[in-house]
Structure formats: structure tokens, C-alpha cells
Amino acid sequence: MTTLLLVRKHPGAVAGLLTTAGLAWWWTVRRMAGMDAAPGSDLGTLGWFTTSWIVMMMAMMLPSFAPTVAAYVTFSRGRRPVRWLPFACGYLLVWGIAGLVAYGAFALGKALLSSDLGWHAGGRWVSGGLIAAAAAYELIPLKRACLARCRGQLGDRKALSHQAPSEALAMGARSGGWCIGCSWALMVALFALGVMSLTWMALIAALVALQKVGPWPRGARITTAVVLATLAAGILAAPDQVPGLVVPASGGIHPMGTMG
């Protein structure tokens, strides 16, 4: 069954997810207005970041996840929303855990290498190198395998018709795991570009959607690799000329501020 047919078959479920994503974008735009969107910006407190990250993932990932939910509803024989909501929650739970891991990695790097990661020290090279590595990941077999599973991730469809909520939650978590395997490098690139930048959030979300629901996954991977490689080269060669990139004004870490 094609993605378009699945979406048409369950417009209510898809509309609910897209509405949630739209509200998450609205919240994100409102909360992040005026914040530092440069690479290496401080992530704030753990509570602030966790809330922001989960809402960001709702905004960025739910649109491309909607066809999977539509497929879940189809193969679970049209069960009520209360039955597939655990599936979606499991997906977001895994992305929330990934955000905590990213926060810990950032905090550790800041504690150990803060003086070396300023933009005018090694930060520019770290940023460009991470984005280049993300571009390379798009072309390796592991990425191809994760994307294939991410695009067809329901597994045993016969078991869906009698799943308990806990089983739906676990299946959603597995779907999120394959999605992380597919998209983690893109999220690394987002941190390297400026994790609180609405511009880069929109770009990464578009690339994720192109890969997950577009008709040509191989072409989408190659396109993503070219986009990321171009950004990496621009940051290393002439960061001031990269459209949308906020170049830090000094070598230090820049605070994001607090939630208003």
C-alpha cells in the first residue's frame, strides 16, 4: 500500500499528527525568538532543554512519521486513537532519550574542551568536520539499512490487531530506534550548525521527510549528502558567506537564555 493511499485512508490520524507538529512549530518559534542560534550555544538547564527538545522533535519528526501511524492504524484494523497513541508516544520517548544523550555529550565536551571549542579556536573546524562526517554517513551501508527499516518499520503486521498498549509503546520505541539509526547524523549536523536555529531545524526536518516519505530514498540520501558536504565546505572555507549561519561573535560559548 502506497504512502499516499495510507494517508488518504486515515485522514483523521494524519491530521492529528500534523496539527500537533504545527502547534510544536508555533511553540518553538515563540520560545526561541531572540535566542542565540550560533553553533556551540549553551543548551541551558537540563529541564529547559528536555522540554524544548521534545517539542522540537514533535515539530520536526511527526510530519514524516504520520504515514507510519496511518499504516499502523490500517494494519491494526482501524483501532481507535487511544490504541495507537501509545505507538506514537513510544516513538517520541526514544527521541527524548536521544536528546538526553546529546545533552550529556555536549556538557562533557564543554567541561573537558571548552577553551578549545571556541569558534575562533577549534570550534569552526569541529563544526565543519561533524557536518562532513554526517554527509559521509548518508552514503554508507548502515545508513541505507536503517533507512529501509525506517520506511517499513511495522514488522509483524498480523500481531497488530490484538496488541496491548504496552506492546504498542514498545513497537513505537523500536520504530524510533530505527529512525534514530537513520537520522542521528542529521541531528549531529543540527547541533553543529546551531541547534536552536529555526532555519537549520526546518532544513533538517525537510531532509528527514524527503528520505522517509519521498519516492526515491537513494536519491534523497545522495541529495542530503551533497547538501551537508556543501555546508561543511562553506563553514570551513568562508563561514560568513553561508546563508543562515550565525557566526559566533567571539571565541566563547554563548548562553541561550532561559524559557520565558
User: Which residues constitute the domain of residue 33?
Assistant: 3-237
Provide, rounded to the nearest whole percent, the portion of the chain with pLDDT above 70.
81
Spatial distance between the Cα atoms of 259 and 44, rounded to a whole number of angstroms: 9
Output the pLDDT for position 250. Answer: 52
- Tell me: the pLDDT tens digits for 44-68? 899 999 999 999 999 999 999 888 8
- Tell me: the pLDDT tens digits for 66-99? 888 877 877 776 555 556 788 889 999 999 999 9
Mean pLDDT of 153-160: 59
- Our count of domains for the chain comes to 1
Q: Which three cell numbers stand for residue 16?
A: 492529528
The H or E element containing residue 256 is none
259 located within any domain: no
216 located within any domain: yes
51 located within any domain: yes
128 located within any domain: yes
254 located within any domain: no
253 located within any domain: no
Say whether pLDDT at 221 is over 90: yes
242 located within any domain: no
252 located within any domain: no
- Tell me: the pLDDT tens digits for 126-142? 999 999 999 999 999 99
Which residues does 13 contact at the CB level (< 8 Å), separation at least 6? 66, 69, 70, 73, 81, 84
- Tell me: the pLDDT tens digits for 23-52? 999 999 988 876 777 887 788 899 999 999
pTM: 0.86
